Amino acid sequence: MIVEPQRNASVYFLRGRFVTLKKATLLLLLSVLCLPVWGVIEVDRLSSPALSERYQYLVAEYRCPKCQNQNLAESNSPISIDLRTEIRRLLEEGASDAQISDYLVARYGEFVLYRPKVKNSTYLLWLAPAVLLLLGLLVIVFIVRRQKRAVNTSKTALSSTEQAALQALLGTAEKQNDKTVNPNEAESK
């Protein structure tokens, strides 16, 4: 491979080797970017592309019972391999998605579902995001309203006594400023 001379200083003493090293490093870094792809290494042996597509969807829908943060597609634990085989078998037998779901839930419980069914024990799980969002919106409305009210009250004119008091305060403040500022000015001059 012909390597064009480059401006990078380190290329001069490494030349060709440096470039291949760089490419290798890049490839390694890119491969780390797509870690989830490493999960499914088996070739699915399903009879039709339609089944294959459903299979790919289903194995991503269920959670591995052994390794709790992975789905069946990502996990290589023996139990996930078994369950993937079972899903393939059920698909070939013509089972519907609901039947496959029931099959897995009957054995491993609702734990395997990444999308648990909506029922009494899961209301909190399903509704919490909406409730929190609503709460957040309420807080924002509350704050905005209060700020508006604060701006409105500041716009109202001051009474004559308040004006006099304000002038008095400003007057004393100016005098104090004069006192503190003057010595400095004298020094600098």
Rounded to a whole number of angstroms, the minimum distance from the CB of residue 155 to another protein is 24
In this structure, which amino acid lies at residue 73? A
Rounded to a whole number of angstroms, the minimum distance from the CB of residue 189 to another protein is 52
Could you give phi then psi for residue 3, rounded to 5 degrees?
-110, 120
Angle between helix axes 78-92 and 97-108 (nearest 10 degrees) is: 150
Q: Which is nearer to another protein, 17 or 145 (CB)?
A: 145
Candidate list 78, 94, 129, 183; residue touching another protein; CB under 8 A: 78
Q: Which is nearer to another protein, 19 or 105 (CB)?
A: 105
Draw the binding track, 20-59, toward another protein (x: CB under 8 A; -: no contact): ----------------------------------------
Interface with another protein (CB under 8 A), residue total: 15
State the residues that interact with another protein by CB under 8 A: 65-66, 68, 78-79, 82-83, 86, 105-111
